[in-house]
Structure 1
Amino acid sequence: MTFLFAINPVSGGNDKTVWEGGINDYFADLPHTFHTFYLNGKTDEETIRQQIAQHKPDRVVAVGGDGTIKIVATQLLGTNILLGVLPAGSANGMARELSIPSGVHESLDVLVNGTPKPLDIISVNDGNICLHLSDIGLNAQLVKHYQQYNLRGKWGYLKGVVNVLQKRRLMRVSITVGDECINRAAFMVVLANARMYGTGAVINPDGDPFDGKFEVVIFRQLSFWEIVKLFWQYRPFDPKKIEIHPATSVHIETHRRAYFQVDGEYQGRITQLKAAIQPGALSILVPHNALA
């Protein structure tokens, strides 16, 4: 087989030398061919397409976090090429969701010996895609603050939480799921194709990125400690403070412009959000026992 590794050198602020060395060592005595290249954040889409055309890989591997996975995955839609993941980012939410090991050798094993599974994606606002979690409101505002000030690590997140909490405000939202229209005051609305944020905070206990649907999670209440759970704690949110609605499509309207993020990347402020599931749109490599 031919493997193509797309390495994000700045993902998570982590040095990728260990990962590059691990790739070289792992494949040294194997009959497979591999190629590596770097993403630069500017011409990634074109570079990935050129690398695929040049090397004709069987498997393309995203070496980075959730944003890197999304960049690579977007270029694999409509192809028969399998997506692999090496969790070299900061939170690695999608890798955690798929039970991909955090160790270099173990995650490389999944690329060679893992099981392909048809992964759902969420089409967002006619042009964007979400593999993991998107949201409007408070968390998206935190993502913006985190990226704007180039914060790193959990202390950076905590500083962001304190800043954002000082500015938090309820949104008035109208959410249409199927034939039902829900009007709420909420701090945050999440489109969840998975169960948890990258740090392990479970917001959607029944989430499954292979089940042909996603969940709309409405946070009606969010205290300081509830937000800290997004990053520091590993237990579910209080179900008395949230609603979860299964969906195959949704239309959300907000009274005022709301902060919006997709898979950890801030997208701007919006007043409308339309999303629909695309079942099994992408084939991804997972461990044999993942989400069995």
Structure 2
Amino acid sequence: MTFLFAINPVSGGEEKTAWEEGIQSYFADKPHTVHLFHLNGKTDDEQIRQQLEAHKPDRVVAVGGDGTIKIVATALLDSGIPLGVLPAGSANGMARELGIPPDVEGSLDVLINGIEKATDIIAVNDNDVCLHLSDIGLNAQLVQHYEKNNLRGKLGYLRSVVNVLQKRRLLRVAVTIGDECVQRAAFMIVLANARMYGTGAVINPDGTPFDGQFEVVIFRRLTFWEIIKLFWRYQPFNPKNIEIYPATSVTIETHRKAYFQIDGEYRGRITSLNATIKPGALTMLVPAPTP
């Protein structure tokens, strides 16, 4: 087989030398062809298209975090080419969700011995996609603060949490799912195509990217300690404080501009959002089930 590795050299704020060396070492005695290239953050879409055309890979691998996976996955939608993941980012939420081992050799083994699985994505506002988790409100504000101040690691998250908590405000939202419209005051609304954030905090216990639907999670109450549990101690919220609605499409309207993020990347402030599930639009490599 021919493998194409798309490496994000700055994902997670760490060099990827060890990952690159691990890839070369792993495939040294295997009868496969391997091509590696670096994303540059400016012309990634064009780069990926050129690499796909030049090498005609059997499998493509994203080496980085959730943002890297999304960049590569977008280029592979509806192509049938399987996408593998080497979790080399700072928050590897999608890799956790898929059960990808966190180490170099373990994640590389999945590329050879794993299985292909049709994976859902969420189309957002007709021009963007969500693989994992998107949200409006408090967490998106945290992501914006984290990116703006170039923070890294757990301490960076904690500093962002403290800053955002000082400015938190309730949103008045209208959420329309099918024929039902609910009006709520909420701190954030999550579109969940999975169970947990990259921190490991479970916010959608029954979620899965393989069931042809996503969940709309409405956070109506947030206490200081619940926020700390989510972003610091990696514990789930108290279920009494959230509502979860299964959906294949949703429209969300806010009374004022609200912070918005997709898969850990800040997207600006919005007052409306439309989202629709695209079942099985992406083929991913996941660990084979244990006997």
**Shorter-chain TM-score: which interval?**
over 0.9
User: Alignment partner of 1:260: what SS?
Assistant: strand
- In 1, the alpha carbon distance for the partners of 2:135 and 2:253 equals 13
Deviations, residues 11-43 of structure 1 (Å, cap 9, x unaligned): 010220110000000000000000000001100
- Structure 1 residue aligned with 2:29: 29
User: Alignment partner of 1:232: what SS?
Assistant: helix
2:158, 2:232 within 8 Å by CA — same for their partners in 1? no
1:286 counterpart letter in structure 2: V
Deviation at 1:5, TM superposition (A): 0.3
1:173, 1:255 within 8 Å by CA — same for their partners in 2? yes
2:206 counterpart letter in structure 1: D
Describe how 1:1-292 pairs up with structure 2 within 5 A: 1-289=1-289
- In 1, the alpha carbon distance for the partners of 2:230 and 2:27 equals 37
User: Alignment partner of 2:204: what SS?
Assistant: coil
User: Alignment partner of 2:232: what SS?
Assistant: coil
- In 2, the alpha carbon distance for the partners of 1:90 and 1:205 equals 23
- In 2, the alpha carbon distance for the partners of 1:233 and 1:208 equals 23
2:104 counterpart letter in structure 1: V
User: Alignment partner of 1:91: what SS?
Assistant: coil
Q: Give aligned pairs, total.
A: 291
1:67 counterpart letter in structure 2: G
- In 1, the alpha carbon distance for the partners of 2:79 and 2:233 equals 38
Deviations, residues 167-205 of structure 1 (Å, cap 9, x unaligned): 100000000011110100000000000000011100000
Percent sequence identity over matched residues?
Answer: 75
- TM (norm. structure 1) is 0.98
- In 1, the alpha carbon distance for the partners of 2:124 and 2:221 equals 25
Deviation at 1:80, TM superposition (A): 1.9
2:271 counterpart letter in structure 1: T
List structure 1 runs of 4+ shifted beyond 3 angstroms.
none
- TM (norm. structure 2) is 0.98
Deviation at 1:232, TM superposition (A): 2.2
User: Alignment partner of 2:231: what SS?
Assistant: coil
CA separation of 1:48 and 1:212: change in aligned 2, threshold 3 A: same
1:212 counterpart letter in structure 2: G
RMSD: 1.0
Q: Which runs of 5+ in 1 are unaligned?
A: none
2:258 counterpart letter in structure 1: A
2:230, 2:236 within 8 Å by CA — same for their partners in 1? no
Deviation at 1:223, TM superposition (A): 1.6
- In 2, the alpha carbon distance for the partners of 1:169 and 1:218 equals 14
- In 1, the alpha carbon distance for the partners of 2:67 and 2:281 equals 18
Deviations, residues 253-276 of structure 1 (Å, cap 9, x unaligned): 000000000000000000000000
Deviation at 1:236, TM superposition (A): 2.3
User: Alignment partner of 2:167: what SS?
Assistant: coil
User: Alignment partner of 1:163: what SS?
Assistant: helix
1:114 counterpart letter in structure 2: G
Deviations, residues 209-253 of structure 1 (Å, cap 9, x unaligned): 000000000000112222222322233211110000000000000
- In 1, the alpha carbon distance for the partners of 2:44 and 2:254 equals 32
- In 1, the alpha carbon distance for the partners of 2:214 and 2:228 equals 24
2:41 counterpart letter in structure 1: G
2:6, 2:60 within 8 Å by CA — same for their partners in 1? yes
1:209 counterpart letter in structure 2: P
User: Alignment partner of 1:274: what SS?
Assistant: strand
Deviation at 1:69, TM superposition (A): 0.1
1:201, 1:232 within 8 Å by CA — same for their partners in 2? no
